[in-house]
């Protein structure tokens, strides 16, 4: 079974200024391909922090996806950190330069933009149909932009290259019940279906306690079975179905 990690690089996420949107997107995309997203790390724009996180993740996961830090400004240090982690130099990649030339006129392709063509030796480029400046793949690490529209376009171009397993399916139902009233019955359902991952997520809306029960796994029939048993449990508890 393939698994994956995401390494988000960016002070703007850690300061709370920017709400990350890439983890949820990649989590869904990977699940659809049967790849378990096992871990996410978010680190600052700091080379030792990036290198340490990357080395830990790339040796323990089938794939690592990074987001952020491959633009033209001084705070974009991801490519240099990846090169450092792999012990290779950066080189001005001729194909990356060609792609930038397709977007920028001669007067526009300044030193800052050419920095986006500095790619670790041995990497393969990842297409960027939005703004041309490529991402790259180095061994099992895919290096992508942080801007969500660009990350998505890059991922769409690489996802066919990933190992594919049975898609992770899910079913859910939301019940008007307090989680503690449901917990014991839900444990019995989980125990009867060890191959299904049963999750319980409480929420509070307008003073009303809701619980969403999510069943995840690769066998639709088993997920439907868990949902059916959950509805029986809800009926026994007199809990109304809020959704699902």
For 137, the 3-state DSSP assignment is strand
- Residue 169 · residue 226 · CB < 8 Å: no
Among 51, 70, 119, 147, which residue sits at the site for a copy of itself (rule: CB under 8 A)?
Answer: 147
Indicate whether 199 belongs to the interface with a copy of itself (CB under 8 A): yes
In the complex, least distance from residue 47 CB atom to a copy of itself, rounded to whole angstroms: 14
Indicate whether 20 belongs to the interface with a copy of itself (CB under 8 A): yes
Q: Which of residues 35-64 bind a copy of itself (CB under 8 A)?
A: 37-45, 49, 53
Nearer to a copy of itself, 149 or 161 (CB): 149
Cα–Cα distance, 241 to 244 (Å, whole number): 7
Closest CA to 230 of 244, 243, 213: 213
Residue 1 burial (10 A CB sphere; 0-12, 13-18, 19+): exposed
In the complex, least distance from residue 150 CB atom to a copy of itself, rounded to whole angstroms: 8
Q: 28-42 burial string, b = 16+ CB within 10 Å, else e?
A: ebbbebbbbbebbbb
Among 17, 102, 105, 206, which residue sits at the site for a copy of itself (rule: CB under 8 A)?
Answer: 17
Q: Which residues bind a copy of itself (CB under 8 A)?
A: 8, 11-21, 23-29, 31, 37-45, 49, 53, 71-75, 104, 108, 110-113, 115-116, 130-131, 147, 149, 168, 170, 172, 179-184, 186-187, 190, 197-204, 214, 216
């Amino acid at each position: 079974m393939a698994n994956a990690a995401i390494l988000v690089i960016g002070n703007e996420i850690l300061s709370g200024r920017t709400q990350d949107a890439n983890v949820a997107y990649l989590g869904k995309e990977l699940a659809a391909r049967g790849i378990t997203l096992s871990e996410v790390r978010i680190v600052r724009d700091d080379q030792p922090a990036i290198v340490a996180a990357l080395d830990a993740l790339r040796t323990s996961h089938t794939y690592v996806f990074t987001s952020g830090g491959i633009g033209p400004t001084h705070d974009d240090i991801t490519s240099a950190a990846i090169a450092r982690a792999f012990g290779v130099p950066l080189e001005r990649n001729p194909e990356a330069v060609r792609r930038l030339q397709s977007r920028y006129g001669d007067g526009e392709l300044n030193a800052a933009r050419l920095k986006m063509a500095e790619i670790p030796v041995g990497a393969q480029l990842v297409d960027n149909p939005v703004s041309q400046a490529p991402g790259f793949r180095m061994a099992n690490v895919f290096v992508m932009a942080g801007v969500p529209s660009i990350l998505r376009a890059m991922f769409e171009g690489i996802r066919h290259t990933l190992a594919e397993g049975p898609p992770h399916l899910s079913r859910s139902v939301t019940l008007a019940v307090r989680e503690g009233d449901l917990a014991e019955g839900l444990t019995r359902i989980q125990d009867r279906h060890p191959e299904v991952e049963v999750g319980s997520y409480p929420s509070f809306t307008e003073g009303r306690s809701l619980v969403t029960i999510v069943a995840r796994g690769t066998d639709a029939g088993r997920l439907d079975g868990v949902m059916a048993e959950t509805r029986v449990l809800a009926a026994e508890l007199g809990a109304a179905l809020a959704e699902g």
